[in-house]
Amino acid sequence: MHIPDGFLSARVAIGYAALSSVGLGAACFRMRAQHERGASALLGVSAAFVFAAQMVNFPVAAGTSGHLVGSALAGALLGLPGALVVMSAVIIMQCFVLADGGVFALGANVFNMGLVGCVVGFCCYRLLCGAAPSPTRRVASVAFAGWCATIAGALSCAGQLSLSGAARLSVVLPAMLGVHALIGVGEAVISSLVVASVLRFRPELLENAGHGALGARSRNTAVFAGLGLSIAIAGLLAPIADVAPDGFSRVTQALGLHASASPLLAPLSQYGIPSLVSGVLATVIAGCLGTLSLFGLCWLLALALVPRKLRAAESRAVVAESSG
Amino acid sequence: MSAVHRASAGLKLGVAAALIFGLAALPAERAWWGLCALPPLLALALLARIPIEALLSRWALGAPFLLAAASLGYFQPHGLRVGLALLAKSAVCLLTLQLLIATTPVTELTRTLCRLHLPLVLCETIALLARYSDLLSDEARRMRRARTGRTLRGSRFQEWLALGNSLGLLFVRTVSRAERVQSAMRSRGGA
Amino acid sequence: MTLALSVEELSFEFARGVPVLRSLSFAVETGECVGLIGPNGAGKSTLLLHLNGILPDRSAARASGCVRVHGRVVNASEARWVRRQVGILFQDSDDQLFCPTVGEDVAYGPEQLGCPRAEIEQRVAHALARVGLAGFEQRILQQLSGGEKKRVCLAGLLAYDPNILVLDEPSAALDPRGRRELIEILAGISVTRVIASHDLALVAELCTRTLLLASGALVASGPTKELLRDDALMNAHGLGRPSRDLPAHLLAP
């Protein structure tokens, strides 16, 4: 997802650089305020780890490059300001050490992988975790958050390329989203592997990530929040589907849902609902089903990674909670 | 050490940034002007005594991404012209950046960036990234060596699977080691 | 008696160009316990890493000569076979341990041998008991002390029973009881053993023959007690005066 120089127009590059500076500046300010001396080992190693992980790079037929991002993992380990600082440091170093991503495009790259990636990843993670997450829930949440962050970053990247006139949205959007939906799976796996290990061997490291209680929230709230988020994402995409119907039909066709959605739509169209609305509905349903099933997969992954001992402790805690 | 290597990092960074900015600002129709930057760049490479084959082979590694991205531009009006313009601009920019990297050590570059009033927290994180990358790769090498030392069977695939399993442990071990390095530094008065 | 190990004209240089090993040649017979002594920087650890094929690797600038295990040359294609024959105990425990828990790490060797589950558990329990860590299967490695980790490394080797044991500073970091138990374990097994150590008392107690390495070259070789009694030789290579410092019964002919 590192955009090289020469693809973004001057206006887009400068505009996104300004946005990124503001976000990064706020994060640095926040970091200085809450800077604890003990935290820098985790910060530094996370940065080194994400840097190394991002080097796993492969050229993509239609898109800049596909690789792991790491923003959700950084968010889970360090909290939002720390994650943003780490991702920015990584992107800067990738540019000036590996020539991966352009100098002029730094602002845009930091926006995609730093701001968007971290905000989406961290918010997903926190929303899904709830107040006092069990190890399994944490791992599942970070896996799903990683996938969402990758997709969101790809979305933003596609937007920038299209705004610069480098490519049409209807071409770059499905290409980026399609590829990064797959890469997001790798992101989910790696994030969950690391968080599972940290929970097993150094659980106190995760407690430091500003995990204040979000207030007494039941498990159901998290599920509804997750559902709401996926509907929101689908809703974001729907207007774009309007603008670039050919690109979007390709995506839904690829998902194999276009054909199955038609019988659903047939009765609606009999009532004279304009085709645009039913198209949006189909997209929304597809989006919800897709994201919910992915979350289910993430939960299965977490069950596989969290050792039985930790899970037993978690179920004992639940029993104590419900009886107490 | 050529004159290019000895030049200040700030100057090189400034020139590279200016060139890249100029190229980015070129509209698609005038993108060919960017190719005029090629002779001076190659001359600089010669002056810096960087073997042309090395520079070009490294450039060739990054080229597929440019090609892939430029191919996106094809699917629009005047697609071919847009695509080629993108390719031309980005190729010259990539060469500029790689020349900068080849003639300037990373530490100097990061120090220059920090003098440009990047936030202190960010600069510290960059320094930590560099320092702990060595630690991470060392720990990875040790774990890999320890594992292969007792691995008697299994295919390449199983090796990779085992590597995946160790990722989390690698992270935790490196954090522990980093903490020890930190206390060692602090006990000698460092931060 | 067949030769377990045979080193022929072994030379090695790391990338920075300082020769670490210079044309070393020696042989170890099956069942023998050979000591390897020498000052810091003599090249003992580097030599040991050659015995199970870890070196030479990509970091080598120059490497020549060969090592044979049971007559077969140690190289990349024979790597798996060599590892089955030669078990190495690293000086730094963190170079040896790569699993999260004690039980998993010790079980790794037997698993690689293809033993059934029940036998693996039995081997692990037995090996841990031998090194004084009975019941430690579930403990997390990162939380153990240096000495405990060293014992886990040794247990990992005992669990899969290699024919040749190569040990780099085995008694370092062990408390006196641990050291005594180590000596008893090593005295009690009959496989070929090569022990590099600064602990000259241990070498005197266990090794029939000793090699003295200095600056990468083999300076002396012979029966342990004779070598250690040679004050001039020991002093010249920074090994003090064992004839004065060690208990007399260890060096008695």
Q: Judging by DSSP bridges, how do beta strands C192-196 and C33-37 pair with one another? A: parallel
Residue to mutate among B125, B139, B186, with most A CBs inside 10 A, is B125
In this structure, are B72 and B131 located in the same domain?
Answer: no
In this structure, are B88 and B7 located in the same domain?
Answer: yes
In this structure, are B77 and B136 located in the same domain?
Answer: no
Give the domain-ending residue among B82, B104, B126: B104
The alpha carbon torsion through A90, A96, A97, A101 (nearest 10 deg) reads 70
Could you tell me which residues are beta bridge partners of residue C73?
Answer: C68
Among B24, B70, B171, beta carbon nearest to A194: B171
pTM, 2 dp? 0.79
Is there a contact between B48 and B5 (Cβ–Cβ < 8 Å)?
A: yes
In order along chain C (253 residues), what is the average pLDDT of each group of 10 residues?
85 80 92 93 90 79 88 85 90 88 91 90 94 91 89 92 93 89 90 94 94 93 92 90 87 81
CB pairs under 8 A between A and B: 208
Q: Judging by DSSP bridges, how do beta strands C192-196 and C164-168 pair with one another? A: parallel
How much is the pLDDT for A317? 58
> Residue A100: exposed, middle, or buried by beta-carbon count in 10 A (0-12, 13-18, 19+)?
buried
In this structure, are B96 and B116 located in the same domain?
Answer: no
Is there a contact between C43 and C60 (Cβ–Cβ < 8 Å)?
A: no
Q: Which whole number is the average pLDDT over A182-200?
A: 89
In this structure, are B92 and B115 located in the same domain?
Answer: no
- Nearest alpha carbon to residue A114 among A78, A63, A166: A78
Give the domain-ending residue among B80, B104, B128: B104
| For B163, nearest residue in chain C (alpha carbons) | C98
Chain A residue numbers with beta carbons less than 8 Å from the beta carbon of B30 are: none
pLDDT band at residue A229 using 50, 70 and 90 as cut-offs: low
In this structure, are B98 and B7 located in the same domain?
Answer: yes
Q: Which whole number is the average pLDDT over B115-144?
A: 88
Which whole-number Å values give the CA distances from C204 to A114, C13, C196, C200, C219, in the listed order?
Answer: 62, 31, 12, 6, 18
Question: Rounded to an integer, what distance in angstroms lies between the CA atom of residue A204 and that of residue A206?
Answer: 5
- Per residue in A280-323, pLDDT (tens digit) is 566 556 666 677 777 787 878 888 877 766 666 656 655 555 55
In this structure, are B91 and B124 located in the same domain?
Answer: no
B53-112 residues touching C, CB cutoff 8 A: none
Q: Give the structural domain span for B132.
A: 111-187
Among C99, C112, C156, beta carbon nearest to B152: C112
Subunits with 3+ Cβ pairs within 8 Å of A are B, C
Question: Rounded to an integer, what distance in angstroms lies between the CA atom of residue A277 and that of residue A275?
Answer: 5
How much is the pLDDT for A281? 61
More confident residue, A179 or A45: A45
In this structure, are B50 and B135 located in the same domain?
Answer: no
In this structure, are B30 and B115 located in the same domain?
Answer: no
Q: Which of A108-117, A268-277, C197-206, C227-236 has the lowest mean pLDDT?
A: A268-277
Q: For chain B, how many structural domains are there in total? A: 2
Identify the sign of the CA torsion A286, A291, A292, A297.
Answer: positive
In this structure, are B24 and B73 located in the same domain?
Answer: yes
The phi, psi pair for A66, rounded to 5°, reads: -110, 130
Q: Is the pLDDT of residue A135 over 60?
A: yes
Q: Radius of gyration over alpha carbons of chain C, in Å?
A: 18
- Residues near C118 by beta carbon (within 8 Å), at least 6 away in sequence: none
Question: Rounded to an integer, what distance in angstroms lies between the CA atom of residue A274 and that of residue A279?
Answer: 9
Q: Which domains does chain A have, with CATH numbers?
A: 10-58+66-316 (1.10.1760.20)
CB pairs under 8 A between A and C: 5
Give the domain-ending residue among B104, B121, B150: B104
Among B142, B151, B152, beta carbon nearest to C94: B142
In this structure, are B92 and B76 located in the same domain?
Answer: yes
- Per residue in B37-86, pLDDT (tens digit) is 888 888 888 888 888 888 888 887 777 777 777 777 777 777 777 778 88
How much is the pLDDT for C14? 81
B142 contacts C52? CB cut-off 8 A: no
In this structure, are B183 and B152 located in the same domain?
Answer: yes
